[in-house]
Chain A
Amino acid sequence: MSSIVRQRHSLMFRPRSYMAFAIAPQPPIVDWLAELDAGLKRSESFFAGQHVALDLAAVNLNATAIGQLVADLEERNIRVLGIEGIDPAKWQAGLPPVLRGGRGTRTADQPGSVAAPAPSPAAARTAPQNQQPASLMIEDPVRSGQSVVFIEGDVTVLGSVGSGAEIVAGGSIHVYGTLRGRALAGATGNARARIFCHRVEAELLAIDSYYRTAEDIEDRLRCRPIQAWLEGGALQISAMN
């Protein structure tokens, strides 16, 4: 059966996702701040202890103006964790980091139940979007250099995953073509995730931070349909035919 791969403990990165509230200022900023103040007057602790992201897609501000806005918010006890919706070229040292790939979600303890305050556009954005099962289907080949990250669940690729491409999934990964790139399943610490592919020529297979590089994948498995899973603290690979 599959050999046990040496375990490395020195460096372990675990992607982790956190909930943040995105607030989206609308132009003119002065009016928007006034509206925010009015809302805060009604429920002062609305943002207390919350992670807040600043969505600047609706406004066009330069770095100085963004810095000012961040300071204005800080004065109101709103600590901005990151900025989204700006051209990364506009970012300057001293500003909160640029965030990407945010998506709307539902929270169990949504504090929004207290008399919905001013930043309603943001509240609308974070409102529940769908209740569909968390899986991502990709019908096209995933090309070299592309990175598909889907921490919410499983990823299914109908085509091939090219050399130099990577799929990162919180759940399992299914590739119906040839897997030539990297597949990282269970990326958020899910040891029960698996990787399935129709033909393995992978550069790297990983589940929950245990991995094997191409060199550690036995020759007899190459170019065959396989599945990979975690067992006994090691990544196991077996052929499926």
Chain B
Amino acid sequence: MAQVLVVTSGKGGVGKTTSTAALGAALAREGAKVVVIDFDVGLRNLDLVLGAERRVVFDLINVINGVAKLPQALIRDKRMETLYLLPASQTRDKDALTEEGVAKVIEELRTNFDWIICDSPAGIERGATMAMRYADAAIIVTNPEVSSVRDSDRIIGLLDSKTVKAERGERVDKHLLITRYHSSRAARGEMLSINDVLEILSIPLLGIIPESQEVLRASNVGSPVTLNSPASVPARAYFDATRRLKGENIPVQIPSEAGGIFNKLFGRKAA
């Protein structure tokens, strides 16, 4: 059964696109057929992070408008043959996303892929609501700071009201991915603690990704961190998150900067 995931946050710059690419690559590495969709129409980025920007011919809006067929717009990753990208249009805006059009695209992808990962734009407007509209599950990307946490809280409210699943009276599964975590800054009280974030959002924790140069470096060379440096601390955190996403029960660890050794077991099972 295909799973439709939305990677969302409300706030911008927290790591949605980076996480979409890293999780998509991690799932594809194990042989699953994965498509990542960029919903940031007008401000696309996922193509760059995946290093596919020079191969974009057609995009999501072309498919919605019937200008191109879905297989024509899908870009296969050069490194992993089960990873595909459906890019956003850079020249249009979010109004071009129609509910029927998005529904049709997702429906068609469901028959061909194991994982459909929708990379949401920031905000709570059309782009974000269309990205979450047909999701079975959501990954809420949050930085451990108050503005990001409040925006995530807002997004969780929308997931519980504006998705097709919610309108049917079902629940969209929610997973919290804390990114850009900095253990020494958290220890100094300059960031919210993991417990604070979990207490405020009260949804299950999928993983904690440390702030890391590796992530930045990977994005700049157009390769997901899980592919570019799979042994790095953030990549391993993404791999663990991927396994939890597939239902494995492994304890979440708080990464520390000191040589990338996980020093503390994180016992709490959130909500």
Residues of A whose CB lies within 8 Å of any CB of B are: 140-141, 143-146, 159-160, 162-165, 178, 180
Contacts and interface: CB of A to CB of B under 8 A. Distances in A.
Contacts of A143: 153-154, 156-157, 160
A163 B202 contact: no
A159 B157 contact: no
Contact of A160 (B124, B146, B160, B202): B202
Given A140-B160, A143-B160, A144-B157, A159 B150 contact: no
Given A162-B150, A165-B157, 20 more contacts: A141-B202, A143-B153, A143-B157, A143-B160, A144-B154, A145-B124, A145-B157, A146-B157, A159-B202, A162-B153, A162-B157, A162-B200, A163-B146, A163-B150, A163-B153, A164-B150, A164-B153, A164-B154, A178-B200, A180-B200
A7 B240 CA distance: 55
B151 interface: yes
Interface string B70-98: 00000000000000000000000000000
A165 B161 CA distance: 15
Chain B interface: which size bin? 10 to 19
A146 B160 CA distance: 11
B172 to A, nearest CB: 13
Nearest to B161: A146
Contacts, number: 38
> Chain B at the A interface: mostly helix, strand, loop or mixed?
helix
B9 to A, nearest CB: 13
14 contacts: A143-B153, A143-B157, A144-B151, A144-B153, A144-B157, A145-B124, A145-B154, A160-B200, A162-B150, A162-B200, A163-B150, A164-B153, A164-B154, A180-B200
Most B-side CB within 10 Å, residue of A143, A162, A163: A143
A180 B202 CA distance: 14
A143 B166 CA distance: 15
Contacts of B154: 143-145, 162, 164
A101 B240 CA distance: 45
Nearest to B152: A144
B177 to A, nearest CB: 18
B155 to A, nearest CB: 8
A118 B153 CA distance: 48
Contacts of A146: 157
A68 to B, nearest CB: 29
Interface in B112-170: 124, 146, 150-151, 153-154, 156-158, 160
Nearest to A201: B200
Q: Which of B156, B157, B158, B160 has the most CB of A within 10 A?
A: B157
B81 to A, nearest CB: 40
A14 B151 CA distance: 30
Interface in B195-235: 199-200, 202
Contacts of A178: 199-200
A180 B146 CA distance: 12
A5 B136 CA distance: 48
Contacts of A141: 202
A110 B27 CA distance: 64
A143 to B, nearest CB: 3
A144 B150 contact: yes
A146 B156 CA distance: 10
A106 B124 CA distance: 39
A160 B157 CA distance: 13
